[in-house]
Structures are given as C-alpha cells and as structure tokens.
Amino acid sequence: MHIGIDEAGYGPTLGPLCVAAIASPTPPHEISRLWQEAACGIRDSKRLHRSQHIGPLESVALGIITWATGYSPANALELFALMGETPDHRADAPWCCNATDYPLPLAQEPIKSLPASVVPGGLHGRILHPWHLNTQREQGINRLRSEWLAIRELLDAPWDAGDAARTYACDRLGGRTHYQHDLQEWKPQWNCQAVAEEQGNCYRLLGPSALAYELGFWVKGEDRHPLIAAASIVAKYTREVHMHLFNDWWCKQMRWLKPTAGYPQDAKRWLHQIGEGHRNAWGHLLVRQ
C-alpha cells in the first residue's frame, strides 16, 4: 500500500491546520501516468487554488475524495467527518457550527473524475483548530510537533491493506531534515534505518514477522509523488471550506468586514477590524498563539 501525506494551513494565524493522507496499492509511477493521461488536474494545491475562487480546487478535490472513499460529501459536515472531525471538535466556536448549512460543491464547476484503473486505498485526515494548537502549546508542544503527532495518527490509520507492507511519502515538515528519532519513538520495538539524507529523507522500519514500512520525507513532495499532491489538494480544500464558514459567520456579525484567508499579514488587518472586545472574548478559540 502506498500512502501520500500533506498538510495545508501550517503558517496562518487564523483557521485550522489540515492534514490528509491518501492511499492506493497502485505503484506511484503508474498513478502519475494514468492521472496525467486522464487530465484530472492533480498537482500542487498552491498552483491549483486561486484566491476568492474555490472552483478549480474544489472540482479536483471532490473528485479525489469520491475516488478514494467511494462517497461524495453532500455538505461541509460530511467532508469534515471524512477528515476525522466530529461536531464536538468544533462545538465551542460558533463560526464552525453551521456545517450542515453548506451544501457541496460550493462552486458550480464539473467534478473531475479519476480513472478506475488507479485502485483506491482510502482517505484519512486530521483537522487542528487554533484551540487544539493553543492547548498543546500550553503543554509544551509546538506547532511542528503538533503536526507530527497528527501525521503519526495517520500512519497508524486502518488502511485497507491491513498489515501489508506500506510505503509512506510525505512532504518535508518545515525545514526539518532528520526524522529517525521521531520514527523510532513511533515504533520503539522496530528497527529504524536511514536510507538517504539528501533531497528526500528516507527510512526503512523493520517490524515483527519481517513486516517493513518505508517512509520518505521529500522537498517539494507534491511534484515528486502523485499521492502527496492528492493529499495536498484535499487538505487545502478542507481548510478553504472551513474558512468559508469562518468568514460567513463573522461577516454576518459585522456586515462591513472584509473576509480573510487567515495568513499573518491579512490576519493583523482582520483582527484589528473586529476590535479588542471580540479578540479578548474569543482569543484562545480564534487566534493561534
């Protein structure tokens, strides 16, 4: 089983950090060829998404989700559930609570279909809101560590292959270049060997009964591995849908308020405009500290 992992929203001040993992037993080079021939638009989500226009990203993301799960989410609530989030996870933040009122797709663009010749192996995800990150920070866990702990949960997810050998491909986590300690911590009884430490940081874990996992952390992984690109798109789309809910709720409270994508520079403008009272009232839930 081959599994690609990527995140969206690591750097913003507002909104969630989303991590997605997508699997297939089809070899990655075959996936790349078949998806390219089908012109299904899978590439780095940063090159696919355009500000204020979710259509191009959405048409590809919903195609990937439908292919990976056999299910097309009818609204934001169902999308978030596929990414491992329940209503309880967002119950304290009113801007996250109207997910059932957001039917998908948000835009009126045809959904891209993926070729059936690429066999799906499932999709899992994690959504880390500011209050999750802030709580972990109070416990001495920084954002990079929070992301790694979310990824570690996805590594252990119940993929369709069961206990078969797995190869994981992950976009490099920030500027980190060494992962052996974290991987050994994840599987303390397994033998973790570093295979390469150059463009990709690759490791091989040998477990019981000769079971082997291979993990690679790649610079510009979305360009190297099709499943990383697919995970990047799903993670980005999930974050964008959450930001649609966020902006919809806040703009209804203040009709003059301009929406925000949540990135630091514009977040400063937005936080100034909502005023000190709202910042203080919602601080822990609203802003990543």
Q: How far apart are CA 176 and CA 111, in angstroms?
A: 36
The mean pLDDT of the chain is 92
What pLDDT, on the 0 to 100 scale, is given for residue 173? 87
> Which residues are bridge partners to 221 per DSSP?
none
Query: Domain coordinates of the chain in residue numbers?
Result: 2-286
Q: Which of 179, 261, 257 is nearest to 278 (CA)?
A: 257
3-state secondary structure 86-147: CHHHHCCCHHHCCHHHCECCCCCCCCCCCCCCCCCCEEEEEEECHHHHHHHHHCCCCHHHHH
pLDDT digits (tens, 9 = 90+) for 187-231: 999 999 998 766 678 999 998 888 899 999 988 888 889 999 999
The DSSP secondary structure of 153-190, one letter per residue, reads HHHTS--TTTTS-EEEEEE--TT----HHHHHHHSTTS
H or E stretch covering 258: none
What pLDDT, on the 0 to 100 scale, is given for residue 163? 67
Average of per-residue pLDDT across 142-171: 88
The pLDDT > 90 percentage for the chain reads 76
What pLDDT, on the 0 to 100 scale, is given for residue 222? 87
**Distances in whole angstroms, Cα of residue 41 to Cα of each of 16, 52, 55, 248:** 25, 19, 12, 28
Q: How far apart are CA 227 and CA 230, in angstroms?
A: 5
Q: What are phi and psi of 198, to 5 degrees?
A: -115, -120
Quick check: 57 pLDDT over 90? Answer: yes
pLDDT digits (tens, 9 = 90+) for 106-119: 998 889 999 999 99
Q: Are 183 and 171 in contact (CB under 8 A)?
A: no
Alpha helices in the chain (DSSP H): 28-38, 45-48, 55-69, 76-82, 130-138, 143-155, 180-186, 221-224, 226-253, 264-274, 276-286
pLDDT band at 164 (very low <50, low <70, confident <90, very high): confident
Tokens found for residue 271: 């936080």
What pLDDT, on the 0 to 100 scale, is given for residue 102? 92
Quick check: 161 pLDDT over 90? Answer: no
Average of per-residue pLDDT across 68-84: 96
Tokens found for residue 107: 């835009």
Average of per-residue pLDDT across 245-258: 96
For 101-105, 167-171, 172-176, 180-184, which range has the lowest pLDDT when averaged over its residues?
172-176
What pLDDT, on the 0 to 100 scale, is given for residue 45? 64
Alpha carbon 153 to chain centroid, angstroms = 13
For 8-17, 207-216, 261-270, which range has the lowest pLDDT when averaged over its residues?
207-216
What pLDDT, on the 0 to 100 scale, is given for residue 50? 66
pLDDT digits (tens, 9 = 90+) for 80-108: 999 999 999 999 999 999 899 999 999 98
Tokens found for residue 289: 């500290």
∠ CA 236-142-128, rounded to 5°: 35
CATH for the 2-286 domain, from 3.30.420.10, 3.90.70.10, 3.30.2350.10, 1.25.10.10: 3.30.420.10
Tokens found for residue 263: 């990135």
Quick check: 21 pLDDT over 90? Answer: yes
Alpha carbon 210 to chain centroid, angstroms = 31
Average of per-residue pLDDT across 28-49: 83
